[in-house]
């Protein structure tokens, strides 16, 4: 428990983008730090808020947020993450998938993330990302 809590605090407060994310999220009435901590602790309401804030972020805020979403996908697992994402509007689902495409390309160096997370990967089109070759 301590490690999960401590790791969460380090992740949230160690982000170089946190101030930008928090400022941009506040413009649409969202407390980014609180939502992220809730999501990272397993709070589905926190993850839903993280999904909903995605379209409101841009630039550095969107870049940092994409990495946050990628880490949360790993924490929640494919099936649970996808089930929660399916409850969001089509616009939010698309924005989250766009952000995950960006994160997997930039941070994980794995533009085709369909194998480890097939359920989430299929939720929306991949408009800007690497398209896997058909064999």
pLDDT confidence band for 110 (50 / 70 / 90): confident
Tell me the CA distances in angstroms from 49 to 13, 32, 45, 59, 63, one per residue in order.
Answer: 18, 9, 6, 19, 17
pLDDT confidence band for 53 (50 / 70 / 90): very high
Q: Where are the domains of the chain?
A: 2-121
Q: The tokens 């969202």 sit on which residue?
A: 30
Nearest CA-CA partner of 56 in 26, 87, 98, 88: 26
Cα 81 versus chain centre, distance = 10
Q: Provide the pLDDT for residue 11.
A: 47
Query: Per-residue pLDDT for 13 more than 60?
Result: no
The gap between the terminal CA atoms of the chain, to the nearest Å, is 44
Cα 47 versus chain centre, distance = 8
pTM over 0.75: yes
């Amino acid at each position: 428990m301590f490690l999960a809590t401590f790791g969460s605090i380090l992740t949230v407060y160690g982000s170089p983008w946190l101030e930008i994310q928090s400022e941009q999220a506040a413009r649409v009435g969202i407390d980014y730090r609180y939502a992220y901590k809730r999501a990272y602790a397993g709070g589905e309401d926190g993850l839903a808020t993280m999904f909903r804030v995605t379209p409101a972020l841009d630039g550095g805020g969107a870049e940092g947020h994409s990495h946050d979403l990628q880490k949360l996908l790993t924490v929640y697992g494919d099936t649970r993450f996808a089930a929660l994402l399916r409850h969001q509007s089509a616009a939010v689902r698309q924005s989250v998938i766009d952000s995950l495409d960006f994160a997997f390309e930039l941070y994980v160096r794995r533009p085709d993330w369909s194998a480890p997370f097939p359920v989430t990967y299929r939720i929306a089109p991949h408009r800007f990302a690497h398209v896997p070759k058909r064999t």
